[in-house]
Structure 1
Amino acid sequence: MLFNSLDFAIFLPIVFILYWFVTNSNLKLQNLLIVAASYLFYGWWDWRFLSLILFSTVVDYSVGRKLRTEENQTKRKALLWTSILVNLGFLGFFKYYNFFLDNFVSAFSFFGIDITANTLNIILPVGISFYTFQTLSYTIDVYKRRLEPTKDFIAFSAFVSFFPQLVAGPIERATHLLPQFYKKRTFDYTKAVDGMRQILWGLFKKVVIADNCAEFANQIFNNSADMNGSTLVLGAVFFTFQIYGDFSGYSDIAIGTSRLFGFDLMQNFNFPYFSRDIAEFWRRWHISLSTWFRDYLYIPLGGSRGGTWMKVRNTFIIFIVSGFWHGANWTFIVWGALNAIYFLPLLLTKNNRNNLETVAQGRYLPNFKELSLMLLTFGLTVFAWIFFRAENITHAITYISEIFSASICEVPQFTERLEALKITKLIALFLLMEWVGREGQFAIEKIGLKWNRFFRHLMYYSIILLIIWYGGKEQQFIYFQF
């Protein structure tokens, strides 16, 4: 069930009414309704994958209960590894089995040894990378005694399967989200209205920006061999806004929907394309995943506490693993390694904690230095996205080679250039609104509150009209494939 579908437009009000007008007097019934709604929401794609969520839920709940009473450290580690192996085993089988098999065969073929191996026709369960990491955060935090294990199976099931963020995050920590299922929720009109604003902005990002950028990004990337350098640059820029509008749009809808039900989710994107260096970019892009890898991988490996070699090693590990998390393709690994290369100079010169405040805070415009740094960081990011979008390494290298050829000086050549110009104007409007609202949680949060009632509602209705005008394509979200 897609957020930008008619199915969800019917599903959400029904669940909302049942939640606040039927089950609101009983916390357990509210949580049970969330579980039922979440399983229905997820099963809309393929009901067979519900067994994976249920099995993962039972395993981690049982491991948590056992960790509660177990004091023997060896047995505690065995319980922890049971959870890790079960969850990562599912993830590894469904997502990476064919990748490892193909590369295993290729490695032996390189040495002249032919091995016959059959790949499997495996369907990747939607969102498996997200809920796997969410359940792992629970087991790890219980093991480290940061969190008291729950006795409430229904509340834990709701935490694992919570439908607003089940498929593509934010990847919530158990320490933050799980306790919210223990508390009685009361309807908060202000929070609900704020949630609707964020849903509206998320739909604008997805339907108006991402889906339209996708039309041209796909056209250019899929036919890159016939395109000149300037056209390929446009393709990379269109994809840059496609992936941001698509993924941050999903997060906005998820966070806004959660607010309708009285829950607070963590901010997942914080205007990353206004970053002044790559370290700031990664503090602002997919925050829930970046902080997950920082807390559960980077810091346990030693973080930046050791010598230069350890800093370099840990940086490459976290970025490459992050890249591989995105998909079973060497392009993602190269994308991760490239970001590590971007990040290393900042880490080694101890400048990776600069730019912690919002750019041009309290000012209308950035100064020349800030603008230059933003453009440089944006350019590096666009270049890295080419590997993320390319079909394979060869495709990426060929694409980049043509960009750095003489044809970059030619006029862009692709069909529907006038339509692309219209979308470019929408992107400019989008960036303007993001810039004006960059000190809030999302762009129109602060903008609308500062304007009087007439102009505020004019903005909302204009956004709704744009969504209706450009809607109807019902494209899946990019991160569903991860």
Structure 2
Amino acid sequence: MVFSTPVFLFYFLVLTLLVYYLVPRKLRNVVILISSLIFYYWGEQTYVVIMFLSTAIDFTHGLLVEHFKGKGQLKYAKMAVASSMFFNLLLLLFFKYWDFLASSFQALGLTFMPVLGVHLPIGISFYTFQTMSYTIDVYRGDTRAQRNIINFGTFVTLFPQLIAGPIIKYKDLGDQIDQRDTSIDKFGSGVQMFMIGLGKKILIANNVGMLWDSYKAMAASDLTVAGAWLGVLAFTFQIYFDFSGYSDMAVGLGRMLGFEFLPNFDHPYISRSITEFWRRWHISLSTWFREYLYIPLGGNRCSKGRWVFNLFVVWAATGIWHGASWNYVIWGLYFFVLLLVEKLWLGRLLSQLPKAVQHVYTLFFVLVSWAIFALEDFGQLGAYLKVMFGMGGVPLADGTFGYYLTSYLPILCAAAVASTNLGRVLYGKLSPRTSQAVCAALVILGLVICTGYLVDGTYNPFLYFRF
């Protein structure tokens, strides 16, 4: 089940909210837990067992860590943390990376790992990271172990962010799991945020996604330089509005239930450097790797050689986290190189250039990165990049490019404007009464239009479900 479906919007969500607000407060986590398991079972069925397993493992290990720390037995506390990480990484390794590793070894002539055809459980990259960070934080003393398994299960399975994030750390949500406030204003704010996300997904991501699919399906011989860049531009908007739209919907749903999640995106395409881009893109993932990998490795408080190694490990891990394919590793290491160059010398030079030049520089390298990210087949990727840079005698443009540009120009312009903070600036200039009226009108209009698209259309993918 995904958020952008009539089944979720008009049946699951309505029923869940109705029951949630009718039961006593002490039973609300039970309602969320049951609803979340139904939500996950709808799409994964028997793989819901993994949710029970992950919940039981980390709930038990959190108690063990706190028990041993309380007795001053740090050795055993560390062993409990290591055990928790082992089980979580084992789940991730088997379900997400077994077939990838087996295929890679077999390509080298090594057949000791059979390809099993393992199905990737939706959201496993997100909830395993969340539960891993829980036991680490208990050991660090950043949070207390949860002693109510219903409450802990609510954290693990929380349906607003279960299958595509944002990645939420228990230390940021634990107090809200135990007790949270609800209000009409907070609920209304949640509805507004949800509709912003739904609009991003349905009205922008889905429409530009069809343009990218058209170019992705073309043979290299049918591409032109301008067409290849237009296709990547479409994917650039699709992945942003798809993922940030889902994150906005998650934040909105959380508010409807009384939670407050940290934002996951902050207008990344207005960045003036790659460093800034990664402070604004997928914030919860960047924060997770910084807190639980980069800093424990030594961060930048070490020799330059060690720092470069730490950066390399983090970005290799960032790449492979996104998918079991070598193009994601290349994508991660591509950003490693760019960030390393910026931090060593380019950053100072870049800051002295006009802002427009900084924007163009950043967007150029971001667009190239999305070509690497989007094309898993190395042959297709190599051919596409060659066309983008005019290699092989390809034409600059043709009639197909002109047709697609004319047809999609309005939605591309809308996506470009929506990628900036212009809407927030204009909204901030309205009076409170006017802003409330505008919000109410936009929510109703947005729901009507999005529902029309959902009922009439069949193209409705969520890109980050496979990660």
TM-score (norm 1): 0.89
- CA gap of 1:432–1:465, structure 2 versus 1, over 3 A, is farther
Deviation string for 1:399-439 (max 9, x for gaps)? 11112226676224548x65653433123223324434476
Is the contact made by 2:206 and 2:461 (CA closer than 8 Å) also made in structure 1? no
In structure 1, which of residues 197, 202, 214 is the aligned counterpart of residue 197 of structure 2? 202
Matched, 1:386 2:374: no
Q: What displacement does 1:193 show?
A: 1.4
Letter matched to residue 413 of structure 2: A
Q: What displacement does 1:87 show?
A: 0.6
In structure 2, which of residues 318, 322, 330 is the aligned counterpart of residue 322 of structure 1? 318
Q: What displacement does 1:201 show?
A: 1.1
Instruction: Provide the C-alpha distance between the structure 2 equivalents of 1:350 and 1:414, rounded to a whole number of angstroms.
Output: 38
Query: The residue matched to 2:144 in structure 1 has which SS?
Result: coil
Deviation string for 1:98-119 (max 9, x for gaps)? 1111222223x3xxxx647531
Letter matched to residue 196 of structure 2: W
In structure 1, which of residues 62, 65, 71 is the aligned counterpart of residue 63 of structure 2? 65
Q: What displacement does 1:375 show?
A: 2.0
2:384 corresponds in structure 1 to: 399
- CA gap of 1:452–1:139, structure 2 versus 1, over 3 A, is closer
Instruction: Provide the C-alpha distance between the structure 2 equivalents of 1:166 and 1:197, rounded to a whole number of angstroms.
Output: 21
Is the contact made by 2:195 and 2:447 (CA closer than 8 Å) also made in structure 1? yes
Matched, 1:467 2:450: yes
Q: What displacement does 1:381 show?
A: 0.3
Instruction: Provide the C-alpha distance between the structure 2 equivalents of 1:448 and 1:19, rounded to a whole number of angstroms.
Output: 33
Query: The residue matched to 2:93 in structure 1 has which SS?
Result: helix
Is the contact made by 1:433 and 1:444 (CA closer than 8 Å) also made in structure 2? no
Q: What displacement does 1:469 show?
A: 4.9
- CA gap of 1:125–1:459, structure 2 versus 1, over 3 A, is same
Q: What displacement does 1:198 show?
A: 1.1
Q: What displacement does 1:463 show?
A: 3.7
Query: The residue matched to 1:44 in structure 2 has which SS?
Result: helix
In structure 1, which of residues 283, 287, 292 is the aligned counterpart of residue 279 of structure 2? 283
Query: The residue matched to 2:354 in structure 1 has which SS?
Result: helix
Which protein is richer in helix relative to its size?
Answer: 2
Matched, 1:214 2:209: yes
Instruction: Provide the C-alpha distance between the structure 2 equivalents of 1:17 and 1:87, rounded to a whole number of angstroms.
Output: 34
Query: The residue matched to 1:410 in structure 2 has which SS?
Result: coil
Instruction: Provide the C-alpha distance between the structure 2 equivalents of 1:51 and 1:118, rounded to a whole number of angstroms.
Output: 24
Instruction: Provide the C-alpha distance between the structure 2 equivalents of 1:477 and 1:448, rounded to a whole number of angstroms.
Output: 36
Matched, 1:38 2:22: no
Is the contact made by 1:68 and 1:148 (CA closer than 8 Å) also made in structure 2? yes
- CA gap of 1:452–1:81, structure 2 versus 1, over 3 A, is closer
Deviation string for 1:374-398 (max 9, x for gaps)? 1210111000111100122232121
Runs of 4+ in 1 over 6 A off after TM superposition: 443-448
In structure 1, which of residues 145, 169, 173 is the aligned counterpart of residue 169 of structure 2? 173
Is the contact made by 1:323 and 1:334 (CA closer than 8 Å) also made in structure 2? yes
- CA gap of 1:12–1:454, structure 2 versus 1, over 3 A, is closer
- Bigger CA drift: 146-155 or 68-77? 68-77
Letter matched to residue 65 of structure 2: L
Structure-to-structure mapping, 1:150-169, within 5 angstroms: 150-169=146-165
1:363 corresponds in structure 2 to: none
2:397 corresponds in structure 1 to: 411
Structure-to-structure mapping, 1:258-277, within 5 angstroms: 258-277=254-273
1:5 corresponds in structure 2 to: 5
Instruction: Provide the C-alpha distance between the structure 2 equivalents of 1:439 and 1:256, rounded to a whole number of angstroms.
Output: 17
Q: What displacement does 1:346 show?
A: 2.4
1:358 corresponds in structure 2 to: none
Query: The residue matched to 1:172 in structure 2 has which SS?
Result: coil
Letter matched to residue 15 of structure 1: T
Matched, 1:26 2:25: yes
Q: What displacement does 1:145 show?
A: 1.7
In structure 2, which of residues 344, 351, 354 is the aligned counterpart of residue 369 of structure 1? 354
Query: The residue matched to 1:341 in structure 2 has which SS?
Result: helix
- CA gap of 1:63–1:281, structure 2 versus 1, over 3 A, is same
- Bigger CA drift: 367-376 or 259-268? 367-376
Query: The residue matched to 2:296 in structure 1 has which SS?
Result: coil
Instruction: Provide the C-alpha distance between the structure 1 equivalents of 2:96 and 2:320, rounded to a whole number of angstroms.
Output: 10
Letter matched to residue 410 of structure 2: K
- CA gap of 1:6–1:310, structure 2 versus 1, over 3 A, is same
Instruction: Provide the C-alpha distance between the structure 1 equivalents of 2:53 and 2:255, rounded to a whole number of angstroms.
Output: 28
- CA gap of 1:321–1:436, structure 2 versus 1, over 3 A, is closer
Q: What count of residue pairs does the alignment treat as equivalent? A: 458
1:345 corresponds in structure 2 to: 341
Q: What displacement does 1:305 show?
A: 1.2
- Bigger CA drift: 265-274 or 225-234? 225-234
Alignment gaps of 5+ in structure 1: 356-366
Instruction: Provide the C-alpha distance between the structure 2 equivalents of 1:316 and 1:259, rounded to a whole number of angstroms.
Output: 37
1:56 corresponds in structure 2 to: 54
TM-score (norm 2): 0.91
Instruction: Provide the C-alpha distance between the structure 1 equivalents of 2:466 and 2:299, rounded to a whole number of angstroms.
Output: 30
Deviation string for 1:226-282 (max 9, x for gaps)? 212211111111110010011000000000011001100010000000001011100
Letter matched to residue 83 of structure 2: T
Letter matched to residue 328 of structure 2: F
Instruction: Provide the C-alpha distance between the structure 2 equivalents of 1:300 and 1:452, rounded to a whole number of angstroms.
Output: 45
Letter matched to residue 93 of structure 2: G
Instruction: Provide the C-alpha distance between the structure 2 equivalents of 1:121 and 1:448, rounded to a whole number of angstroms.
Output: 57
Letter matched to residue 411 of structure 1: A
- CA gap of 1:448–1:413, structure 2 versus 1, over 3 A, is farther
Deviation string for 1:340-386 (max 9, x for gaps)? 1111122224959x99xxxxxxxxxxx99222211210111000111
1:81 corresponds in structure 2 to: 82
Is the contact made by 2:271 and 2:362 (CA closer than 8 Å) also made in structure 1? yes
Is the contact made by 1:197 and 1:445 (CA closer than 8 Å) also made in structure 2? no
Matched, 1:332 2:332: no
Instruction: Provide the C-alpha distance between the structure 1 equivalents of 2:85 and 2:390, rounded to a whole number of angstroms.
Output: 47
- CA gap of 1:122–1:446, structure 2 versus 1, over 3 A, is farther
Instruction: Provide the C-alpha distance between the structure 2 equivalents of 1:327 and 1:452, rounded to a whole number of angstroms.
Output: 41
Instruction: Provide the C-alpha distance between the structure 1 equivalents of 2:133 and 2:299, rounded to a whole number of angstroms.
Output: 18
